[in-house]
Structure 1
Amino acid sequence: MIDTLQTIVVALVTFATVVAVHEYGHFWVARRAGVKVLRFSIGFGKPLLNWRGKDNTEYVIAAIPLGGYVRMADERDGDITAADLPRAFNRQSVGKRSAIAAAGPAANFLLAILVLWGLFLRGEIGVIPEIATVAPGSIAEQAGLQPGQEIREIDARETPTVAAVNFALLERLGDTGALNLAVSRPGSDALIRSEVAIDKWLKGAEQPDLLAALGVTIRTPPVVPRVGGLTEAGVARSAGFQVGDLILEADGTQLPLWIDWVNYVRSRPDQRIEVWVERAGTRQNIVVTPASVMAEDKRIGSVGMSVALPAIPASQQRRFDRGPWDALSASLNRTKDLVTFTFKSIARMLQGLISPSNLSGPITIAQVAASTAEAGWVAWLGFLALLSVSLGALNLLPIPVLDGGHLVFYGFEAVMGKPLPEKVQLAGYQMGVVLVLSIMVFALYNDFAKL
C-alpha cells in the first residue's frame, strides 16, 4: 500500500510539474500578447481547488492530472463584452496566435535545459564503456571489437560513457546502412575504426537490449542475484522474498549471477520454483510460481523483482566537471538531441521500424518516475527533463487539437491571407481528438500488458 501511494504521489508531482510549465508557457505569452485569460487549469474534469487572481483569471487544479489547458476569451466560444473584444484570442494577428501556441512546447524545452544545466553544473558521472566480452557471430565481432577495448565513438558521436553508447545505438533502431564504430586499446588514445552493415536493425523489437544486440558486455562488477526491490502486486513479495535477499539456488541449480536468475524465471511461467536465499546470514527456503506475461509475442515468467546493483569502482567511472557556460552548452545539445530523437522515433514507428509496443502511457511513466525518485533526486530530475522534452515534442506534432496542429492552421492562414474554413478546421479537430484518444488508449493497453 505504501509503495502504491508513493508511486501515485511521485507521479502526480512529476506530471503536474511538466504540465504546469507547459500551460504556463501559453499563459505567459498570451498575457504579454494582450489576450484575456479566463482560466488556467492543471488537470481536466471537476475542479478540486480553484481561486481567482487579481487579474480576474480563474486558477484551477482539477481531478484528472493528465494534462491541462489555458482558456482565453474567444468570440467562437461565446459572447464576450465589447470592452474585451480587442483582447479576444481570435482577433489577434497570426504571429501572436502562433507565438501563444508555440509557447507551451518552448516552455517544456526551457525546463529541460535548466534542469540539465543544473545537473551538468553539479558534475556528471558515467560508467566507462570498456568491453568485457564479445559474443561470437555478433555485430561487434564482425567489426573486430575485442575485450579490453573502450568504445570511443559510434557514427562519429563521442561515447565517453555507457549511457552515451546506449543513446547512440538508440538512434539506429530500425535503421539500415553502415554502423561506424571507433575503439581504443587500454592506455592508448589512438582510434581503431571499423564499419559494419545493419539492415533494419532490431526492427519491431520490444524493449531491446542494445548492448546485447551489438554483441558486447561492459566491464562492471558482477551483478549477483540480490533483491533490490519488489513490486507490490508481484508474486515474489507474496511468496516471502525481502529486499536484501541473496538468491543462492533454484531447484538445486546454482545461480551466481542476476542474469542466471532472470533467465531461469523467464523460462518457467506458471511453474513452481523452490528457491534458497541467504538472509541475515542464514539460509531460507522460498517457493514461488512466476506469473505468465506476454513479451515479444511469447509467454515468459515474471515475479516482480528488481536487482540491487553493485557499486561501480571509481576506476571504472568517468566524471565530467563543467563550468557554467560549458554546462549550458551541454544542456542545449542534450535537449536538441532528445527532441531530434523523439521525432525520429515517431517517424520510424509510423514506418513499422520500431515496435509500437514501446509506446508508454501514464502507468509506465508513473512507475519510472517512482523508481527514479527512489534512486535519488538526481535520477528523478533527469527523468523530469526527459519527460518535459517528450511532452514538448509530442505537442508539436501536426495533429489538430495539439499545438502543432494549431501552428499548421496558422501557417495556412499566413500563406492564404485568411483562415481555413470553419468546417475544415472543425473536421480537423474532430479527427485530431479521435487520433489522440486512440493513441492514449493504445498506450494504456501497452501499460497494462507490461504489468
Structure 2
Amino acid sequence: MSEILGSLWWLIISIGLLVTFHEFGHFWVARRCGVKVLRFSIGFGKPLWMRVGKDGTEYAIGRIPLGGYVKMLDEREYEIGEALKPHAFNRKPVWQRIAIVFAGPAANLILCVAFLWGMFVIGRPDFAPVVGSSAGIAAEAGLRRGDTVEAIGERATPTWSEVQMALIPHALDREDVAVKVRAQNGSQQTRTLRLSQLPAGFDERRVVQVIGLGGRHELIPALVGRVEPDSAAWRVLAEGDRITALDGDPIASWNDLPAAVAKLGERGGKAMIEVLRNGDRLALEIQPRQMKRDDGETFWGLGVAVAAPTPPQRDAVLRYGPVAAVPAAFREGWHQAGELFAMIGRAFTGRVSLQNTVAGPVTIGRAANAYASNGPAWYLQLLAMLSLSLGILNLLPIPILDGGHLLYYLIELVKGSPVSERVMAAGHFVGLALIASLMGLAFYNDILNNLVR
C-alpha cells in the first residue's frame, strides 16, 4: 500500500473510531436521561448508508468521514407535539444537559486509558535508552556513549522513546534538567543538561538532535560498501569488511571513522587498520590521503563508502501485565493530559511555534500510517494520544464545542435561568470564527510541513 493510500486509510479508521466513541458517549447518556435521539451519524453529508432502529433513531454513515454528530429532539429547532416535549433535550434539567454534553469528551478520556492499557499489555517494541553519541550540550553534561538513561527529571525512561518525550517539555521551557544514568561500569550517576543554553529559535521538531544526543541504535555499523579505485583503501580493504580499529583506536561505528582518519592523517605515516572479513580478524597497513569534496574542500580519507545500513533491531519492550497495566495506563494518561495542557499554554504565550502544535489531517494521516506500520502497540499509543487530544480540546470553553455548551450551562446554574438566545448566537459566531481559524492554521501547517518539502 502506498504512503498516500495508507495515510488516507489509517486517517479514516482513526478519526472514525474516535468520533464514533465520542458521539456514542453523548448518545448513551442522552438515552439514559430520557432524551429522544433522532440521528446518530458517523461522518457528515448525505448518508452512504442508513437504517432506522427499533427505537426510532436513524443510524447513518455520511459521505465525509471526518466527524460525526448526534441529533437530539429539541423544540428550539422546530415545533414538536406535546407528547414528545418531555423527551426534548432543552426540557431536561440543567444537570442532565451537562451530563449529556460532558459524556462525549469523557468517552474519549476513557478510550485513551483503554488504548494505553492495550498498548502496555501487548508490549510496545522500542530501543534501549542507551547513548550512542554525545555532542554539544549532552557532551558538556558528561553523557557518554554506553550510558543508560534511567530517568529525565522525575520521569522514568525505560525506552529511547521515553527519553525523547521526556526531554521535549524541558527543552521547550529552556529549563535545566537532571538526568539519571547508569554508566558502563554499572555506577549510578546524575548529570545536568543545561537546556537553558539552547539557542533561540531552535528546531522544536529536532529537540534531541539539537541537544546533541543520539541513541545507540542510530549508530551506523562501520561496514565497507564500496572501495574507490586508486584510493588509500584500494587493494587493502574489500566490500563487506567491518572496520573495528584504526591505529589502535576502536571503531564502534561509521560515525567514529572520520575523526580517527583525520587524526591519523595529521600524524602522518602508515598505521594498522583492523577488520573482520568473512569471520577472520585481519590487521592491514593503510595510510590516509588528502581528498577533495564536491565543494573543493580537502579532508583526510581512505576512499571507502559505507554499506547501506540495515534497519536496527528493537532491543527493548515497554510492557506490563494485565493488572499492572491498569494503574500504568491511568498514570500515563494523567501525565500526557498535563503535557497537553502545558503545550496549549506554551502556544498561547508564544513559547512554542503554532506550526508545531496544530496538526491537520495530512499530518495525522501520515502519523497514523507510520505508527500502524510499527505494529499494533504503537498504533494504540497514537490512538490514545489522539483520543486524549480530542477529549481535552472539546472541553475548551469555545462556543460550538462541548466546552462552550458546558460554560453556558454553568452560567445557567449560577444565574438560575438559561443564557439568552442573543448571547448564544453571538457566542456561536465567535466560536465558528475561532474554529475556522484553527482549521485554517491546521491546513496551513499541513502544507508547510508535508507538501512543501
Normalising TM by the smaller chain, what interval? 0.7 to 0.9
Identity level (%): 40
Amino acid at match of 1:391: L
Amino acid at match of 2:183: R
Partner of 2:392: 393
The 8 Å contact of residues 36 and 87 in structure 1, kept in 2 or not, is answered as: yes
**1:425 aligns to 2:424 (yes or no):** yes
Partner of 2:81: 81
Q: Deviations over 1:219-245 (max 9, x none)?
A: 1263479xxxxxxxxxxxxxxxxxxxx
Matches within 5 A, 1:326-365: 326-358=324-356, 359-365=358-364
Q: Secondary structure at the match of 1:220?
A: helix
The 8 Å contact of residues 170 and 195 in structure 2, kept in 1 or not, is answered as: no
Residue 212 of structure 1 is aligned with which of 209, 213, 227? 209
Partner of 2:219: 222
Q: Deviations over 1:270-290 (max 9, x none)?
A: xxxxxxxxxxxxxxxxxxxxx
* Superposition TM-score, scaled by structure 1 size: 0.76
Distance (Å, rounded) in 2 between the aligned partners of 1:354 and 1:323: 37
Partner of 1:62: 62
Distance (Å, rounded) in 2 between the aligned partners of 1:342 and 1:75: 38
Distance (Å, rounded) in 1 between the aligned partners of 2:44 and 2:310: 39
Structure 1 pair 193/25, CA: closer, same or farther in 2 (3 Å)?
same
Distance (Å, rounded) in 2 between the aligned partners of 1:9 and 1:340: 30
Partner of 2:279: none
Distance (Å, rounded) in 2 between the aligned partners of 1:372 and 1:443: 20
Q: Deviations over 1:158-200 (max 9, x none)?
A: 112111111212222431443222222225363425363527x
Distance (Å, rounded) in 2 between the aligned partners of 1:212 and 1:55: 57
1:355, distance to aligned residue in structure 2 (A): 0.9
Structure 1 pair 37/428, CA: closer, same or farther in 2 (3 Å)?
same
Gapped regions of structure 2 (runs ≥ 5): 228-252, 256-308
Structure 1 pair 178/415, CA: closer, same or farther in 2 (3 Å)?
farther
Structure 1 pair 218/419, CA: closer, same or farther in 2 (3 Å)?
same
Q: Between Structure 1 and Structure 2, whose CA radius of gyration is higher?
A: 2
Distance (Å, rounded) in 2 between the aligned partners of 1:102 and 1:378: 29
Matches within 5 A, 1:265-280: none
The 8 Å contact of residues 204 and 354 in structure 1, kept in 2 or not, is answered as: no
**1:98 aligns to 2:111 (yes or no):** no
Partner of 1:184: 182
Partner of 2:135: 135
Structure 1 pair 177/81, CA: closer, same or farther in 2 (3 Å)?
same
Amino acid at match of 1:156: E
1:373, distance to aligned residue in structure 2 (A): 2.4
Structure 1 pair 364/173, CA: closer, same or farther in 2 (3 Å)?
same
The 8 Å contact of residues 108 and 391 in structure 1, kept in 2 or not, is answered as: yes
Distance (Å, rounded) in 1 between the aligned partners of 2:104 and 2:202: 33
The 8 Å contact of residues 361 and 446 in structure 1, kept in 2 or not, is answered as: yes
Residue 324 of structure 1 is aligned with which of 322, 325, 333? 322
Q: Secondary structure at the match of 2:351?
A: coil
Amino acid at match of 2:384: A
Partner of 2:412: 413
Q: Secondary structure at the match of 2:397?
A: coil
Distance (Å, rounded) in 2 between the aligned partners of 1:365 and 1:149: 34
The 8 Å contact of residues 179 and 196 in structure 1, kept in 2 or not, is answered as: yes
The 8 Å contact of residues 109 and 387 in structure 2, kept in 1 or not, is answered as: yes
Q: Deviations over 1:388-441 (max 9, x none)?
A: 111111111111111111111111111222222221111111110111111111
Gapped regions of structure 1 (runs ≥ 5): 226-245, 250-255, 259-306
Partner of 2:312: 310
Q: Secondary structure at the match of 2:382?
A: helix
The 8 Å contact of residues 178 and 190 in structure 2, kept in 1 or not, is answered as: no
The 8 Å contact of residues 159 and 318 in structure 2, kept in 1 or not, is answered as: no
1:347, distance to aligned residue in structure 2 (A): 1.3
The 8 Å contact of residues 123 and 377 in structure 2, kept in 1 or not, is answered as: no
Structure 1 pair 65/321, CA: closer, same or farther in 2 (3 Å)?
closer
The 8 Å contact of residues 158 and 318 in structure 2, kept in 1 or not, is answered as: no
Q: Secondary structure at the match of 2:312?
A: coil
**1:36 aligns to 2:33 (yes or no):** no
Partner of 1:196: 194
Aligned residues: 376
The 8 Å contact of residues 121 and 322 in structure 2, kept in 1 or not, is answered as: yes
Structure 1 pair 19/308, CA: closer, same or farther in 2 (3 Å)?
farther
Distance (Å, rounded) in 1 between the aligned partners of 2:158 and 2:369: 28
